[in-house]
A and B are shown apart, each in its own frame.
Chain A
Amino acid sequence: MSGAAASLAAPKVFGNAHRFESNPATREVPWVRWTILSLGLAFFALFLVLPLVAVFTEALRKGFGVYFAALLEPDALSALKLTLIAAAIAVPLNLVFGVFAAWAVAKFDFRGKQLLVTLIDLPFSVSPVVAGLIYVLMFGAQGWFGPWLSEHDLKIVFAVPGIVLATVFVTFPFVARELIPLMEAQGREEEEAAAVLGASGWQTFWHVTLPNVKWGLLYGVILCNARAMGEFGAVSVVSGHIRGLTNTLPLHVEILYNEYQFAAAFAVASLLALLALVTLGLKTFVEWRQAQAHALHND
């Protein structure tokens, strides 16, 4: 669901507001305008800007020495490593799935398509805590496969595989839901022409479909990656909080915070906040490129 608000399928027209402001029929009297603007921006500053500023201020409260010490501590580094591993597995998996799903949904008609699309979106509407719980029910000591796993000395829950599974679950729809509307909007004619001219399925995808959807694909990957690296609830349930072993960066933040190591907790948090800002920057760039490509296409 979180993706519902962000999609490249309908290219964003961030037009200039001038066309509304210069038109007497669509503008408000100055005091109304200022009230709306200041209420909206005050809410924005209070709920979005202040928390962001607080992260960096708290992180640097005890100086750069403490800041970098917190980032370079072995537990923090191993949390960083696990976060990168989880994202490095979850993002490509969901990318491949997204491409397959979008190809099936956008290029063919079949019964139950709408249901399939709804089911793909399902992980967005499931609470992260429930997302973690389902893997405990499957692979935990008392779970379906628990006895079999312990017989074979395998560990999924409270170990790295569980963290990867939970991450895959919460990031499941990102690429698919970005690609499906985009590939539906592109239609099928170009691919059909390629196929009729003798291109293989792979050639058609690589040379015809992919160039058309590359920005949407990248967009989905960026959002998927941000969520994969930042997931907390689902990962928290399956991790077992073993320091240096099953801690991701967000879980490390929680541990430090609960131990009253606030400066260190905020230092690690600032790393994740930077990741969020880079994500937003990339996202804005991709939206801009997509709008450009769209404008060129329409000319």
Chain B
Amino acid sequence: MSAVLAPSSAASAVAVTRPDASPRKPRRVLPGFGLSLGVTIAYLSLLVLIPLSAVFLKSSTLGIDAFWSAVTSPRVLASYRLSFGMSLLAALLNSVFGLLLAWSLVRYSFPGRKLVDALIDLPFALPTAVAGIALTALYAKNGWLGSLLEPLGVKVAFTPLGVLVALTFIGLPFVVRTVQPVLEDLDTELEEAAASLGAHRWQTVRHVVLPILTPALLTGFALAFARAVGEYGSVIFIAGNLPMVSEITPLMIITKLEQYDYAGATAIAAVMLVISFVLLLGINGLQAWSARSRGVGAGTKR
């Protein structure tokens, strides 16, 4: 993913062909190619690829029928609905408010702007368990926010709404941090041109600025969604974890493990892994699109 964001340096000279050497075998000037690639691939295989393949190998020993009934039992299906539904809602909330926040940070000066900018990344830095108990304390019946919402008949802690709150918290930085740099890079000339041609401010934003932001906004949405689907630590404290009501999919894996149902746990994990792979590919594509359109949107400013 990261390579997409960086300018390609493929054009720089890599290999110099010696006239006396065979023309098909370029000689590399820099040392350490074999060593560094070897270490990288060995470490990656040992720690990530082989252990991850264990999930698929273990689920393949189950047999199709057992696998299917493990991943489609009613309780597991309810957990998919909750996990995906709430992740989608949380990512949507983050898209709307993340855009407003990014806009405020880039375009408006207000006291404490630098502090707000630094704190946006808090969900990346704060351990998820800490976020989980803090949100639960806030939204519980006697908490600061819970005690305000309770008289209105809104229960957040220990309901699916609590899941939404936790997933919104952990997804917050993604949209802000993908939209913010695009807004910073945006050439003011585009808006000046639109204004001089008689467009209202809203028309300019709607037809000039938002289309340029769309790829970044979608990338941020997808990143927040992907993170939310797999999230565990911040959710389990506030969710209440009622079967069929407020159990997220990662919790189902833990529950099966605690019942020593390793095969069942692995089957659900395989489903989640496939979904992660699909999301990762989608996000890669979105980032490539975002990088391309950013090249168009950004002017000659720098």
Contact = CB atoms under 8 A, between A and B. Distances in A.
Interface of A: 1-7, 9-10, 12-21, 23-29, 32-33, 36-37, 39-41, 43-44, 47-52, 54-55, 58, 97, 100-101, 103-110, 113-114, 116-123, 125-130, 133-138, 140, 142-144, 165, 168-169, 172, 177, 180-182, 184-185, 187-189, 191-192, 195-196, 200-201, 204-205, 223, 226, 229-233, 236-237, 249-251, 253-254, 257, 262, 265-266, 269, 272-273, 275-277, 279-281, 283-284
Contact of B51 (A17, A113, A137): A137
A20 B2 contact: no
Given A43-B97, A122-B280, A6 B108 contact: no
A125 to B, nearest CB: 4
Contacts of B51: 134-135, 137-138, 169
Interface residue SS majority, chain B: helix
A13 B107 CA distance: 13
Nearest to A42: B97
Nearest to B253: A129
25 contacts: A1-B226, A1-B280, A4-B2, A5-B124, A12-B184, A25-B195, A25-B204, A36-B103, A37-B104, A47-B168, A48-B119, A54-B137, A120-B40, A125-B280, A127-B230, A137-B54, A140-B262, A144-B54, A184-B3, A187-B12, A250-B130, A266-B134, A276-B130, A277-B125, A284-B114
Contacts of A230: 125-130
A54 B192 contact: no
Contact of A279 (B125, B137, B176): B125
Interface residues of B, number: 121
Contact of A14 (B114, B196, B219): B114
B237 A257 contact: yes
Contact of B192 (A25, A113, A126, A142): A25
Interface string B95-122: 0010011011011111001101111111
B13 A5 contact: no
A168 B47 CA distance: 8
Given A122-B48, A184-B9, A253-B129, 16 more contacts: A5-B124, A25-B194, A32-B201, A36-B103, A41-B110, A48-B172, A50-B138, A51-B134, A103-B36, A107-B33, A130-B250, A181-B5, A232-B232, A250-B130, A253-B130, A273-B130
A12 B181 contact: yes
B14 A109 contact: yes
Contact of B55 (A109, A123, A137, A283): A137
B174 interface: yes
B39 A26 contact: no
Contact of B2 (A144, A180, A266, A272): A180
Nearest to B135: A51
B284 interface: yes
B240 interface: no
Contacts of B122: 48, 52, 276, 280
Contact of A21 (B107, B185, B194): B107
Contact of B125 (A7, A125, A237, A276): A276
Q: Top 6 A-B pairs ranked by shortest CB distance?
A: A127-B230, A230-B127, A5-B177, A232-B233, A181-B6, A201-B31
A201 B116 contact: no
B68 interface: no
Given A106-B9, A144-B54, A230-B130, A47 B169 contact: yes
A265 B237 CA distance: 13
Nearest to A188: B12
A36 B104 contact: yes
A103 to B, nearest CB: 4
Contacts of B229: 127
Contact of B6 (A184, A249, A253): A184
Contact of A192 (B29, B223, B237, B265): B29
Given A20-B107, A44-B116, A4 B55 contact: no
B106 A20 contact: yes
Nearest to B260: A142
Interface string B151-193: 0000000000000010011001110111001001100100110
A43 B101 contact: yes
Q: Which of A54, A138, A142, A273 has the most CB of B within 10 A?
A: A54
Nearest to A266: B133
Interface string B1-32: 11101111110111100000000000011111
B133 A253 contact: yes
A19 B188 contact: yes
A116 B152 CA distance: 52
Contact of B257 (A6, A41, A121, A237): A237
A97 B42 CA distance: 10
A109 B121 CA distance: 34
B279 interface: yes
A3 B177 CA distance: 10
